[in-house]
Amino acid sequence: MFIENYSNTGSRKGWIEVVCGSMFSGKTEELIRRMKRAKYARQKVEIFKPKIDTRYDDEKVVSHNENTIPSSPVEKAEEILLLANNIEVAGIDEAQFFDPSLVDVCNHLANKGVRVIVAGLDMDYLGNPFGPIPDLMATAEYVTKVHAICLKCGSIANHSHRLKGENSLVELGETEAYEPLCRDCFYKIQPPLIDTDIKLSEMGIRHPKN
């Protein structure tokens, strides 16, 4: 469990925390938990989410376990800077839906002494790095990777398999549209785009199994 790294020097220092993983892994639940702890500590907090995420509520951030916390929906990452005046902790949910400028926004807030907590999917439904999350993981002081349970075999799941819908990258949905899968079960359904055997052969490298 993440423990806040508060400084006892009296100076206010900012940092970035990233909570990432597949769908149904508890990312939003963990974000809400950390934000509520900050509120209990009487810190000034504000939580943001992308306007397009209206699955549970237009304004509140809601976890799959139906825990909620009020939020400010924003269309673009830059809007967060306009609304984050005089706060100590900023929470950002479903961060994968924001554009790459979110990385600069988060770093700007952290450099100003704000604790920034970001939650989002680290991979899209094809198993590729998703949106600004990889860059945020690289620049964050703390990264927590959470996992779901594979619905096929019961192992730890880190993939979000799309059950139906279009081929668009952004497709809002819940259990009717996605299921968490482990690596083995995911790649049985969604084979890698690169055939590693052929690629290794082209590079003159023998496959370890051969």
The catalytic residue positions are 94
Instruction: Look up residue 68 and give its amino acid.
Output: T
- CB burial string 92-116: b at 16+ within 10 A, e below: bbbbbbbeeebbebbbbbbeeebbb
Strands laid side by side in the 89-92 sheet: 72-74, 45-50, 89-92, 115-121, 15-21, 142-146
| Integer Cα distance of 89 and 135 in angstroms | 20
Q: Beta strand pairing status for 68-69 and 72-74?
A: unpaired
Check: CB of residue 95 under 8 Å from CB of residue 63.
Answer: no
